[in-house]
Structure 1
Amino acid sequence: MIAIILASVRSWFSETRGAAQARIAAGGAPSLWNRNSVLLTILCLIHGLSMYGFLGGYASFLQENLHYTPTRAGVVVGFFAIGALASIAGGWVGDRFSPRIVLSAAYVCIAVLGYLFFQMAPSTLTREILTCVYGVVGSAVLYVSLAAYHVKSLRSSLASKGSGMFVTSLYGGAAFGGYLIRALAGHGGWLFAGVIQMSLLCAVGAVLALAVRPSEMTA
């Protein structure tokens, strides 16, 4: 198959050098130290703390407070991955709408979910639905969009640095997410932990996202 492609596909079909060169100067900051990259780095830290705090602590909440078996708790948390399967559609949303709208709306949704997750009343089915919704919003939309906007905030020659900053900042927050939510739960209970680490942090993120400047990103 590789030999057939090499023999039959012409360079004019697969290589668009002129268009690529034209895009080099089409927006984007010349260094990592710019308004959008700084804001996105903070937003990634927030998302890492909230999302991985949830993933690291929710099963413990279900087992300790609602007496779920490990298998049952694992099934509920697993619905996050089902929601994450919508990542292709989530990427389309990130490209189709303004970064301000996408990011702010996603953080507001997570802030609401953070409050609902640690209530005692919801049934198992309700928790599965909420967790799936979080997978869609937190992974398919927000995770994908943050990665894309980091790259779009810089000139194409700095795309790899933008990707690296995304990974470093998001997983930098993720590294402490589980420890923090557990410490907060030990201090004031799981609802308190969810409100602080998910609802409050993501509310701050929603406000910060409004300061992003789409006009300074590449097309």
Structure 2
Amino acid sequence: MTEVLGKADLPARPMPSSHGERAYTVAIIVLILGLSYSFNGLDRSAFPALLSPISSELGITPAQGGFLSNIFTLNIALFGALSGWFIGRFGRKHVLVGGLLAYSAFTFAIPLASSYTELAFYRAMTGAGEALHITAIFSMIGAYFGKRRGTFFGINNAFFGLGTFLAPLIASQMFQLLGSWRSPFYLFGIAGMVSAISVYLFVPSWFAAAIDQETRRDDEAGDLRCPTTLINLNSAVCTVAFFLTGFSFLAYMALYSLYLKSALAYSVADAGLAFSMFGIGALTAFFGGWLGDKFKRWGLIAGLALMSLNSYVMFFHVISLYGQMATSFIFGVLLSGFLYPRFLAVMQKSVQSHHISAATSIILPVFYFAGFLSGPAFGALVPLVGWQTAGGITVTMTAAGAAVLVCFINPKRMRGP
């Protein structure tokens, strides 16, 4: 079976004929795509890392800060749901480049805001571009690499980890040196635009328009085991569990730095250092995706249970900088290094090969829509129950709920080995 692709994705250049040349070319493509995805990490974590000085200047409350940190997720949900249509109409490559240009432009515009409303608008609009970018990039990688998609999802997600590691460090250091929270957003916006141009120039259509390799290589029984409908038990359970995982993760992303500053009296630099360790942990996605392919459903269950336990320790037992660095690192290992690529692989294997883009355009928006709810929920709970309990409810309990749900995924009703 083949996937319906836009006319813009029809191959324009021949694939390299020799295996060595093709492998080298694909490695360069993966690097270029990974670097483009690292700007998601830069954009996501720079704003929460600078939330304290932004809040001081604009008079923003914790609830408003949580909303601003995660408002981009609403447009990821809205535009992500439409991304399947965009890909079918314009092709993966053009959607990826357009999305990357859009959110880089709005990242550049964030420092121009002079009020809470303007800041919310620019921050929200970054999500529209991110939705198109991330859906296209994971559809592209999943279709080309087939049964090895989990491994390459992990490699791609490691670049996200690189971005989330660098952004708090760069942003906090630029703030310390220049005394302004605005400069990092100009830098990241311009860098993202340069990355978009590199994708346009160097990612060929034969890669962007690839047909699902798993269906070519595996026997037909792989597809026959899988339900023919896009919505089935496995895809539904996977989607709801990913929603809860996103709720937990994006609650952490939204207000963790502010928690360290407000509840534990960390400096902006120390909070940025602890937060950046998430990105170091996410770098383990280079082999986390491969591990996910090996451990399958039990890996998901164990990873979610450990994420819940780690966040409990983070909010209820650890005060020191080194302790927070360690728990933030573990959070990155579990979420970005293992769970995120594994959920995407499970979702794509839970549907027929021609539904890959549609399945991706469902599960990713659901994950990010959870963030639209979790950031404000975390912030609203703080004055009612305190920072620790608010973190326990929004970060710890939701991860535990996801662990229970994935027990109901049936591996026998999935494609591939």
Match of 1:28 among 217, 222, 226: 226
Moved over 4 A (4+): 3-6, 13-18, 20-24
Q: Deviations over 1:28-66 (max 9, x none)?
A: 221222101111111111111110100111111110111
Alignment partners' CA distance in 2, 1:123 and 1:44? 31
1:103 aligns with 2:318: no
Say whether the 8 Å CA contact 1:28–1:156 is kept in structure 2: no
What is residue 42 of structure 1 aligned with on the other side? 240
Match of 1:207 among 401, 404, 416: 404
Say whether the 8 Å CA contact 1:90–1:140 is kept in structure 2: yes
Say whether the 8 Å CA contact 2:215–2:353 is kept in structure 1: no
Q: Which moved more, 1:196-205 or 1:15-24?
A: 15-24
Structure 1 residue 155: Cα displacement: 0.8
TM-score by length of 2: 0.48
Amino acid at match of 1:30: T
Match of 1:64 among 262, 271, 275: 262
What is residue 123 of structure 1 aligned with on the other side? 320
Say whether the 8 Å CA contact 2:226–2:413 is kept in structure 1: yes
Structure 1 residue 21: Cα displacement: 8.0
Alignment partners' CA distance in 1, 2:214 and 2:292? 26
Q: Deviations over 1:168-208 (max 9, x none)?
A: 11111122221111112221011111211122112111111
What is residue 283 of structure 2 aligned with on the other side? 85
Q: Which moved more, 1:76-85 or 1:201-210?
A: 201-210
Say whether the 8 Å CA contact 1:44–1:173 is kept in structure 2: no
Which of the pair has the greater relative contact order for Cα pairs under 8 Å at 6+ separation?
Answer: 1
For residues 38 and 121 of structure 1, do their structure 2 counterparts lie closer, same or farther at Cα, with a shift above 3 Å needed? closer
Root-mean-square deviation over aligned CA pairs = 2.6
Alignment partners' CA distance in 2, 1:18 and 1:43? 26
Say whether the 8 Å CA contact 1:181–1:197 is kept in structure 2: yes
Say whether the 8 Å CA contact 1:114–1:199 is kept in structure 2: yes
Structure 1 residue 81: Cα displacement: 0.7
Q: Deviations over 1:147-169 (max 9, x none)?
A: 11110100111111111112111
Alignment partners' CA distance in 2, 1:92 and 1:73? 32
Amino acid at match of 1:64: S
Percent identical residues: 26
Q: Deviations over 1:48-99 (max 9, x none)?
A: 1110100111111110111111121011111101111111211111100131
1:94 aligns with 2:94: no
Alignment partners' CA distance in 1, 2:399 and 2:257? 21
1:197 aligns with 2:394: yes
Q: How many residues align?
A: 213
Alignment partners' CA distance in 2, 1:4 and 1:159? 24
Structure 1 residue 116: Cα displacement: 1.4
TM-score by length of 1: 0.88
Amino acid at match of 1:118: F
Structure 1 residue 214: Cα displacement: 0.8
For residues 117 and 18 of structure 1, do their structure 2 counterparts lie closer, same or farther at Cα, with a shift above 3 Å needed? closer
